[in-house]
């Protein structure tokens, strides 16, 4: 079920990237800037490497990536972004986590609250729903890339926690400490990945359908359209 939801999210994000590429590049640039504050060499800074990889996957120009790195290291001036987490509920009691990078916390909080209110949700206080999620590594692979048994053997030997099959493909889930090792094992085996990222995974899901699903979809799209929002996570499982 979790793998199926992860692939639904991948498809939605790809559609957003294709239709609003400039905005997506701006969001990724913020991610690179934040990561580069810990050092501008991606060989020594895994967070920066993942952010740059995300930019390249979105066809972000190299000079745009380079400028973002330099802003983060202080070589170029720029806004001072900071990570912020917003928590709340959507229609039907679905838990929502909003991962944002902002240069104005008050503005962001106000905008996020309005989006929740307009779509039948409610913004909550710290740890309202965060306790329902855990930080994990998630790697998506097309079904045609490798056989299921072979992938399971390879992933588990590399330290993966689970391999989840869905109609769309496979999702490998890892602990944070094992993510890079599993990613490298797939790379060395020349198995292409659709995405490889760190994200928040719910401990259990709620199935939504009908009007609740439509309102949830509207809420997620509204949040993802906000310039400050990097990722939106939920514990929803959309009924087919």
Mean pLDDT of 100-120: 95
State yes or no: pLDDT of 240 exceeds 80.
no
Q: Distance from first CA to last CA of the chain, Å, rounded?
A: 11
Banded model confidence at residue 87, pLDDT cuts 50, 70, 90? very high
DSSP state of 129: S
Higher pLDDT: 55 or 79? It is: 55
pLDDT of 1 reads 47
pLDDT mean across residues, the chain: 90
State yes or no: pLDDT of 91 exceeds 90.
no
Cα separation values, 227 from 29, 231, 236, Å: 11, 11, 23
Higher pLDDT: 18 or 155? It is: 155
Strand order in the sheet with 82-89: 122-124, 82-89, 95-102, 229-234
Mean pLDDT of 86-97: 94
State yes or no: pLDDT of 16 exceeds 60.
no
Complete domains list, the chain, with CATH? 2-73 (1.10.10.200), 82-131+203-238 (3.30.70.980), 133-201 (3.30.70.980)
Banded model confidence at residue 108, pLDDT cuts 50, 70, 90? very high
Mean pLDDT of 93-118: 96
Distance CA 154, CA 143 (A): 15
Residues of the chain with pLDDT > 90: what percent?
77
State yes or no: pLDDT of 77 exceeds 90.
no
Mean pLDDT of 93-108: 95
């Amino acid at each position: 079920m979790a793998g199926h939801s992860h692939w639904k999210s991948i498809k939605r994000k790809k559609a957003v990237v294709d239709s609003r590429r400039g905005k997506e590049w701006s969001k990724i640039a913020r991610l690179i800037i934040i990561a580069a504050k810990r050092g501008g060499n991606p060989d020594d800074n895994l967070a920066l490497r993942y952010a740059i990889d995300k930019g390249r996957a979105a066809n972000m120009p190299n000079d745009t990536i380079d400028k973002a790195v330099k802003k983060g290291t202080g070589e170029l001036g720029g806004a001072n972004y900071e990570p912020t987490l917003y928590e709340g509920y959507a229609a039907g009691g679905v838990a929502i986590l909003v991962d944002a990078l902002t240069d104005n916390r008050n503005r962001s909080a106000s905008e996020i609250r309005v989006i929740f209110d307009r779509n039948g949700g409610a913004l909550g206080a710290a740890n309202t729903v965060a306790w329902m999620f855990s930080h994990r590594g998630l790697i998506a692979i097309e079904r045609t890339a490798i056989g299921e048994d072979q992938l399971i053997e390879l992933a588990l030997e590399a330290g993966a926690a689970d391999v989840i099959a869905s109609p769309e493909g496979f999702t490998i889930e890892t602990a944070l400490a094992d993510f890079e090792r599993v990613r490298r094992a797939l790379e060395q085996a020349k198995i292409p990945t659709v995405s490889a990222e760190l994200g928040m995974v719910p401990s259990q899901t709620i199935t939504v359908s009908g009007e609740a699903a439509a309102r949830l979809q509207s809420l997620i799209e509204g949040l993802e359209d906000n310039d400050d929002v990097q990722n939106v996570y939920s514990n929803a499982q959309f009924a087919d």
